[in-house]
Amino acid sequence: MDKLTFEAKVDWTKGKEEQFVDNNFSRAHLWHFDGGLSVPASSSHHIIPIPLSNPDNIDPEQAFIAAVSSCHMMALLTIASKRKYVVESYSDKAIGILERDNSGRSSITKVTLRPVIRFSGANVPSKDNLRKLHKVAHDNCFIANSVKAEITVDIL
């Protein structure tokens, strides 16, 4: 594969009435992606209290977990298609753990994917073949290959 470059623009502006003192400022900002999509983002309200964070906005930790899950799904769908498995639906409620890592820094240390996949047709993978599909998908996921957190798949 050739070297590819991806970009995302992030914008934050201090509110007009807002003081920028003592860590007391809004964390709300925008992520801008090619194609014109803009996503309201904020720090997690689990880390920075409301109203300094906005729980209605996506936070970087959720985005990280979603990126891992999405990449795994796309790799699995590609492999399943090549192996003549027909996937009707794929739903994953992924979980990420933020905790102190071995160096004492806060880190997403584990991501657990819990995909529920519905196949149709005569060629439906056995549980063993499904495990193999997930292994190959994991090995081919660009995001999983880019992070140090442990990533596991619970086959439901």
| Short-list 151, 91, 150, 80, CA closest to 120 | 80
Residues 74 and 32 in one domain: no
CATH number of the CATH domain containing 44: 3.30.300.20
Q: Element (H or E) spanning 48, and its range?
A: none
Spatial neighbors of 98 by CB under 8 A, at least 6 apart, are: 61, 106, 107, 108, 109
| Short-list 73, 24, 75, 32, CA closest to 52 | 24
Residues 77 and 34 in one domain: no
Q: What is the pTM of this model?
A: 0.92
Grouped pLDDT means (10 residues each) for the chain, 156 residues: 92 89 92 95 95 95 97 98 97 97 95 97 96 97 94 90
pLDDT in tens, 13-23: 998 888 888 88
Instruction: Give me the pLDDT at residue 4, please.
Output: 93
